[in-house]
Amino acid sequence: FGINGVLVLALQLPVGRVLTAVSPPPVIALGGALYAVAFVVFASAATLFGLVAGMVILTLGETMLSPALPATLTRLVAERSLGPALGWLGAVRGVGRAVGAVVAGLLYDSGAPAWEILAGTTITVSAAAYVFVGRAQTSERANPAEDRS
C-alpha cells in the first residue's frame, strides 16, 4: 500500500491535467479497465514483482477514477440533489471496499479459485455500472438542463 500512496501523490496532478481534455465517461471506462487488469495481475501473481506491477496498474486506474466519478456525478445530478448524491457516492464506495474485502477474504479462505472470484466480481460490478450509467444517461437526455443556470 506504500507504493499506492507514493504513486497517487506523484501521479494525481499530472494525470488529472492530461485527462481534463477528455470527457469523464471514457476516463471512467479506462480507469475501470485498469482496475480489472490489476486484479488479473494480482490473481495470477506468483512473485513480489507481480504484486508490485498489479499495484502500479491499480494506482493508475485509481488516479483516473477518483476525480472522474464525482465529476460525472455533478454533471448528471440536479443541483438541488448534488450534496446527497456525492455523499451517497462516498458511502457506496466505502461500503464496497469494506464488504468486498470481507467477501473476497471469505471466498479465498474457503478455497474458491481466484479466477472464479475475479470473474464473478467483474461481471457483477460491470452489470451494476452499466445499469447505473444507462439510467443516468437516460435521465440526462430526458431533462438535459434541469436546475442548471
* More confident position, 80 or 139: 80
On the question of pLDDT at 51 being above 50, the answer is yes
Spatial CA neighbour of 103 closest among 116, 91, 90: 116
Banded model confidence at residue 2, pLDDT cuts 50, 70, 90: confident
Amino acid at 140: E
In the prediction, which pLDDT does 149 show?
Answer: 47
Banded model confidence at residue 143, pLDDT cuts 50, 70, 90: low
95-122 pLDDT, tens digit each: 878 877 787 777 778 777 776 777 777 7
Nearest-angstrom CA–CA distance, 143 and 135: 12
- Alpha-carbon distances, residue 35 vs 85, 108, 139, 146, 147 (angstroms): 24, 19, 27, 33, 34
Amino acid at 104: A
- Residues across the chain: 149
Give me the percent of the chain exceeding a pLDDT of 90.
7
- Alpha-carbon distances, residue 118 vs 54, 59, 87 (angstroms): 14, 18, 28
Banded model confidence at residue 24, pLDDT cuts 50, 70, 90: confident
Across the chain, mean pLDDT equals 79
Nearest-angstrom CA–CA distance, 36 and 48: 19
On the question of pLDDT at 20 being above 60, the answer is yes
In the prediction, which pLDDT does 56 show?
Answer: 93
Residue tagged 471506462 (cell numbers): 29
In the prediction, which pLDDT does 1 show?
Answer: 64
